[in-house]
Amino acid sequence: MPLLWRYLIKNFFKLFFLCIGSFLCILIVLRAQNIAKFAAFQGNLYSTVLFTVLQLPYILPFAIALSALLSSFLSVKKLSETGALTCIRICGLSLIKIFFPLLCLSLWLGCINFLLISEICPFCKKKTKELLNTCLQNSPLSLLDDNSFLRSRHILSFTSSSSPNQKKDLTLAFSTSAAGALSLILASDLSYNQGFIEASHIHMFSLSKDSVEKKTLIESYNFLKSTSASLVPSYRKYHHTFTFEELSTKKCLIKLQKVDGKERKHGVFEILKRLFFLSTPISFIFLGIATSVSVSRENKTSISFLIASSLIILSSYFFGKSLESRPVIASLVFFVPQLFLSYLGNRRLGKIEQGVS
């Protein structure tokens, strides 16, 4: 391997791992409250450490892309400011040949990013839910707390008591999207003690809608007692569906052949979202190279172009996520900005290659 390539790769990875470590530390700080709550509920050091580690892959796809952008920009900028880039170009090497190892690294990082988002992240999501279900079994009534990280988005509850193991005047409403049902539970007293959930003066209403007719179910009990272990399977059954986000890419493609309609669009969108993370490190490294060379030629618009480009690409992801029901439009939102900005970056490099500032 040429000395120049070893120099570029070494400087790139120094900055890259520094940026990755910074992003992971930020994530742990942001998730510290949830980690502390999990530790309080679970009380198991191994489970707490495992829960913390499982949070890391959630930010890694973004961290890898942004770290690649910063690392390529700073390493090439350093090469330009010291005059080494000018000396190398005098020897007759083109910019593409000089930065060829960084372009190869962009492909490698893109594949790593795709592996993370398609294989590791789905596994971490499933494993995290298993840990949360175990935590729920140890403290089932925490599911009803408004500020609980165990709270399901399908649940709405009101109570006059905030005790972790006792609820009074409980009103609980929840939907089951898989079964197409809406349920309402009223209870004057709900408590958890030694593995059992006890409820008094409880009324349950359930409204389900199938393809033929609506069905209403009403039940009332003066006293009801159940084990907390029976709550977790019910929670999994009614509030946990096996979505495309929890499947590997291979299993997503297999499932796509068996579904249609809205669910098929959701699957196609998930594949497009993962391809976005495959292409992002490639685009970011290319833009980092183009703008850093321009900065060395005292082009004040280069840094502004770099910031604007990164914001546009990141914004396209969040905007594309809102188009889940329209995968064709979402694909344009995901990839057109990257292609257009890469084209502009290529034009910049072409002008610099010709000596035009």
206 assigned to some structural domain: yes
pLDDT above 80 (res 141): no
Helix (H, G, I), strand (E, B) or coil at 336: helix
Domain count, the chain: 1
Q: Which residues 6+ apart lie within 8 Å of 4 measured at CB?
A: 88, 98
**Most distant CA pair in the chain, distance:** 90
Strand partners, 196: 193, 227
Query: Is residue 189 a part of any domain in this protein?
Result: yes
In a domain, 191, yes or no: yes
In a domain, 41, yes or no: no
Model pLDDT for residues 96-119, shown as the tens digit of each residue: 888 888 888 999 999 999 999 988
d(CA 285, CA 287): 5
Please indicate, yes or no, if residue 351 is contained in any of the structural domains: no
Quick one: pLDDT at residue 332? 93
Q: Determine, yes or no, domain membership for 282.
A: no
User: Helices 301-321 and 327-353 sit at what angle, rounded to 10 degrees?
Assistant: 170
What would the mean pLDDT of 150-173 be, rounded to a whole number? 61
pLDDT band at 296 (very low <50, low <70, confident <90, very high): very low
Residue 229 sits at φ, ψ, to 5 deg, of: -65, -30
Q: How many CA atoms lie within 13 A of 301 on its CB side?
A: 4
* Residue 212 resides in a domain: yes
Assigned domain for 140 exists: no
The per-residue pLDDT for 83 is 75
**Which range (138-147, 171-180, 327-336) has the least confidence?**
138-147
Domain of residue 189: give its range.
151-228
| Predicted TM-score (pTM) of this structure | 0.74
Residue 353: closest CA among 101, 104, 93, 78: 93
212-243 residue pLDDT tens: 455 566 777 677 666 655 544 444 444 445 67
Comparing 144 with 323, the larger pLDDT belongs to 323
- Buried/exposed code over 136-146 (b: 16+ C-beta within 10 A; e: otherwise): bbebbbbbbbe
